[in-house]
Amino acid sequence: RHLWLIVPAAGQGKRMGADRPKQYLELAGRPILARTLTRLHQAFPEARLCLCLDPDDDWFDAQWVPFADWRRTPGGAERVDSVAGALAAIAEEAGADDLVLVHDVARPCVTVDDLHRLRDAAREAAAGAILAAPVADTMKRDDGRGHIRATEPREGLWHALTPQGFGYALLCRALEAARARGVAITDEASAVEALGLAPRLVSGRRDNLKVTHPDDLSLAGWILAGQDA
């Protein structure tokens, strides 16, 4: 069984409000994309990488890719389209049982230990596995007008992180079905859940944050500095 890594990196990162897609912003002196790929390579030096990039992306530099075996695949309109594009690009090479880990380029702080634990769980669990962290805050639902409508019990609620890992054939089937239904999905697990399956939750570090808003950049810098210490 080969190990494949799919890194969707075709987003614009508009919430960042920067002059470039967020994966090219510098984090402790290196672009986020380079940091994320370096972490993945530390954990899985032998893996095969699919990097989903916007076909019009002029910021990318191949020198940031530490993997020997990698390909650039065209990103699509939504994240799910980018991941589906990567799965299609490796259809000739991938075996049905090969393990595929999908990891957001915007999560540079994931640790090698969490990566290994997720891989091990995803290998064993028939429906795959995701890194996740229990919700700590009290959760409110709004009424659409800026007031609270309800307090949602946080017990049993988790933040879905990445990577998320599944067998190649299962992930293809799940994403095809999700795209055919046309409902928006923001992670792979929700597509697998829609098939009636229950991926495993692997408790991961809460500092595996997704760089989304401007303040996240300095926070990610602190997290990385602490991890290197």
Asked whether position 109 contacts ligand C5P by CB under 6 A, the answer is no
Question: Which residues from 33-92 bind ligand C5P, rule CB under 6 A?
Answer: 52, 75-79, 82
Nearest to 193 by CA among 149, 120, 138, 127: 127
The sign one gets for the Cα dihedral 223, 17, 187, 4 is: negative
- Alpha-carbon dihedral angle through residues 121, 125, 128, 132, given to the nearest 10 degrees: -50
List 5, 6, 8, 224, residue binding ligand C5P (CB under 6 A):
8
Q: Rank residues 8 and 167 by Cβ distance to ligand C5P and give the closer one.
A: 8
Q: How far is CA 145 from CA 45, 142, 148, 149, 152, in A?
A: 49, 7, 9, 10, 18
Asked whether position 212 contacts ligand C5P by CB under 6 A, the answer is yes
Could you tell me the smallest distance in angstroms from the CB atom of residue 80 to ligand C5P?
8
Which residue stretch of 38-46, 101-109, 129-137, 221-229 sits at the interface with ligand C5P (rule: CB under 6 A)? 101-109
Asked whether position 210 contacts ligand C5P by CB under 6 A, the answer is yes
Q: Rank residues 111 and 212 by Cβ distance to ligand C5P and give the closer one.
A: 212
Q: How far is CA 134 from CA 58, 70, 157, in A?
A: 38, 34, 6
The C-alpha atoms of residue 223 and residue 76 are separated, in whole angstroms, by: 31
Tell me the three state secondary structure of residue 82. Answer: helix
Size of the site for ligand C5P (CB under 6 A): 18
Asked whether position 104 contacts ligand C5P by CB under 6 A, the answer is yes
Report angle CA 128, 129, 135 to the nearest 5 degrees. Answer: 150
Asked whether position 119 contacts ligand C5P by CB under 6 A, the answer is no
Residues in the chain: 229
Could you tell me the smallest distance in angstroms from the CB atom of residue 106 to ligand C5P?
4
Tell me the three state secondary structure of residue 200. Answer: strand
Which residue stretch of 2-10, 62-70, 198-206, 221-229 sits at the interface with ligand C5P (rule: CB under 6 A)? 2-10
The C-alpha atoms of residue 33 and residue 55 are separated, in whole angstroms, by: 16
Could you tell me the smallest distance in angstroms from the CB atom of residue 180 to ligand C5P?
18
Which residue stretch of 63-71, 98-106, 124-132, 177-185 sits at the interface with ligand C5P (rule: CB under 6 A)? 98-106
List 51, 106, 121, 189, residue binding ligand C5P (CB under 6 A):
106
Q: Which residues bind ligand C5P (CB under 6 A)?
A: 8-11, 13, 23, 52, 75-79, 82, 104-106, 210, 212
